[in-house]
Amino acid sequence: MVSIEEAQRIIIRHTTLLPPEKVSLLQGLGRVAGEDIHAPYDIPAVDNSAMDGYAFSHAELKRNCLTVSGFLPAGGQRTVPVPPGEAVKIMTGAPMPPGCDTVVPIEETEAAGDVIRLIGVVKPGSHIRKRGDDIHAGDKAIAAGTLLRPQEIGMLASMGKTDLLAHRRPRVGVLATGDELLEPGAALLPGKIIDSNSYSIAAQVLEAGGEPLMLGIATDDQGSTRQKILSGLQADLLISTGGVSVGDKDYVKEAIVELGGEIKFWKVNMKPGKPI
């Protein structure tokens, strides 16, 4: 009898890595990256404003007052330097105009015509997202083996990726055994129960990122059990329930051996579920 942890180690030791395949960006969600992915450019690509406010040169600030001489929306660009003592109204995400190194939020100013007065102390360099703050060109953004969550998908999109190499989702055969079992939807008969285990396992396979292959129910017959297991070997992994204890009609172990398999462990130190 082995511990649960040892059983897990044995299973992992005999689990091979599935090959990567090219998939679209959204198809990569929930998969595992099959390659290292490096940033093709700095993100952000340029210094930009982190707030809706006013951009100016802090060194040229006199008496906390500035003349507003322009407007720069997100997506816009200004190539002409902002004169000393002047400011440009700037929106969040807009690139910093030449000659400016600080942004003050709109709500921290008072406007009178084309002149603004700064309320309180503004530190130089405030409210600016610097070029490369998120990642620098050439840096490893995502390492091979990383689970691709929404965060990683967003990062890949920001890098201009439309596809990527991700390991193939495992196809997992799910097989139930037992004469007492009926498929969901069948009329319940005396002595029979509905096969719920297969659907619980299949749901866990889906949740873990795999693709369940429902194999149905094998009757308590050696030939039926063998045939169902054989069909399940088309999948990457086969999970069966029932038929592994010491009953007269428990044929799973025999079928595995007949098909050239090897029993790496049988009993696990847990309750319920010791014969596994």
Place of tokens 């999970």: 239
In whole angstroms, what separates CA 116 from the centre of its chain?
46
pTM assigned to the model: 0.79
> Which residues, in sequence order, are bridge partners of residue 49?
128
Q: What is the model's pLDDT at position 247?
A: 74
Q: Is a pLDDT exceeding 90 seen at residue 244? A: no
pLDDT digits (tens, 9 = 90+) for 124-155: 999 999 999 999 999 999 999 999 999 999 99
pLDDT of 16 over the 80 cut:
yes
